[in-house]
Every structure is written in structure tokens, then in C-alpha cells.
Chains A and B, each alone.
Chain A
């Protein structure tokens, strides 16, 4: 039973468009929420992360929005580029706990 539910499973966006991926969790003990990016044949790599004390974090074209009361967080990819085509995983972990719980992943395809 996955502790972090991720949607959609896949999405296609035109170059320059906005990609939005959503994740939801139940465990209120989670206090660290990273997003990982994975290209085919490669291992996941940390893209951006947030803690519950802020509602939004932006790094370049990537933004995490966090809604603590709804227990939801999302990744927005602005001005999507073909090079952003990858699988994205949300994850969560508890304070001082090494273990990450991952969502099922979203495959993003950006069409030129």
C-alpha cells in the first residue's frame, strides 16, 4: 500500500506549456517532500524538495506547491522543454527517518 499517491500516470504537453503532477499523502508525520527526475536507463536524481513550513518553492522553471491542510503537494514545470521529458517521482519521509516513500511515478512527454 503506497503511502504517497501520485497522478497522473503519464502526461503529454506541448513545448512551452505547463506540466502539473500531483501527490497526496496521509501520514502527518511526513516532513520532507522531494521530487526526483529519472531519464530512461538512468537512476533518479533529486530535482527539488520542500518542507511543510513553506507553501511554495521555486527553482528555475520548477515549482513545488504544498498544501499542508489538504496533505497534497504538486510539481509545476513551466515553459516545458523536450529535455524535460522524463519520469518524475514524488516522495516523502518523516523527520530524522532515513526511509523515503515514493509515489508511482509520472512519465512526462514534451512534444516539440
Chain B
């Protein structure tokens, strides 16, 4: 099993550009989520999904969109990047009725 994979590892954007961060898992986990990690802030939940076709907002959803068309994939879209979105983004997955979340290796995004 590859676990949770994320692409790209690094990305630099200009203000106003759009992009999609990819996340995939091969563990057949029902739950998937996106976090951002900023210094001194820990990890903050952006969006999450409890199954294909179901998504919901987390703590800091503004500026981000998600969709979940398959169990395996959960892309995160930035429609118009802003410098405040400079961060490290982590995708995570978890099997329903269990506690352990498995995190991907992260995407470091810089918005100039």
C-alpha cells in the first residue's frame, strides 16, 4: 500500500492564480480531510469528507473548494491564490469507526 499520497510536493503560485492539490489513498478509507499547517498554529482543518459525494467545511474553509467523486481521491482547489494561503497542506484519511488518521507527506505552497 502506498498509503496517502499528495502531489505536488512543492508549488509556487502568483497571487490570483488557481491550482489543485491532489490527494489519493489506497486504503479504502471512508473519511478524508485537508489540513493546513502554519508556524505556531498547529494543524487546522480546511475541509473534510465522510464518503464519496459528501463534503463539509472545517475550521478554515474560505478560499478553498473540495469535491469527492471517488473513495480514493480528494482534491483541494484554490480558486484565486492569496499570500495568506502560503502554508504546508496535509491530506489525511481514516477508516470509519476507527480513530487513527493517516497523513500524507504534505505539499508546501508559496503564494507570491
State the 6 A-B residue pairs at the shortest beta-carbon distance, nearest first.
A43-B103, A102-B42, A102-B43, A104-B42, A44-B103, A46-B100
Contact between A43 and B33, CB atoms less than 8 A apart:
no
Count chain A residues whose beta carbon lies closer than 8 angstroms to a beta carbon of B. Answer: 22
The answer to whether B42 touches A46, judged by C-beta atoms less than 8 angstroms apart, is: no
A44-B43 contact, Cβ under 8 Å, with A34-B99, A49-B99, A99-B58? yes
Q: Which residue of A lies closest to B90 (CB)?
A: A43
Q: Count of B residues near A, CB < 8 Å? A: 25
User: Chain B residue with minimal CB distance to A4?
Assistant: B42
Interface of A is mostly: loop
Q: Give bound CA distance, A36 to B18, whole Å.
A: 31
CA distance A41 to B105 in the complex (A): 7
| Residues of chain B having any CB pair with chain A under 8 Å | 4, 31, 33, 35, 40-45, 48, 50, 58-59, 90, 92, 94, 99-106
Which of B31, B40, B41, B101 is close to A46, meaning CB atoms less than 8 Å apart? B101
**Given A32-B99, A43-B103 in contact, is the A98-B33 Cβ separation under 8 Å?**
yes
Q: Which residues does chain A contribute within 8 Å of B33, judged by CB atoms?
A: 98
| A-B contacts, 13 listed (Cβ < 8 Å) | A6-B42, A43-B105, A44-B90, A44-B103, A46-B100, A46-B101, A89-B42, A99-B58, A100-B43, A102-B42, A102-B44, A104-B40, A104-B42
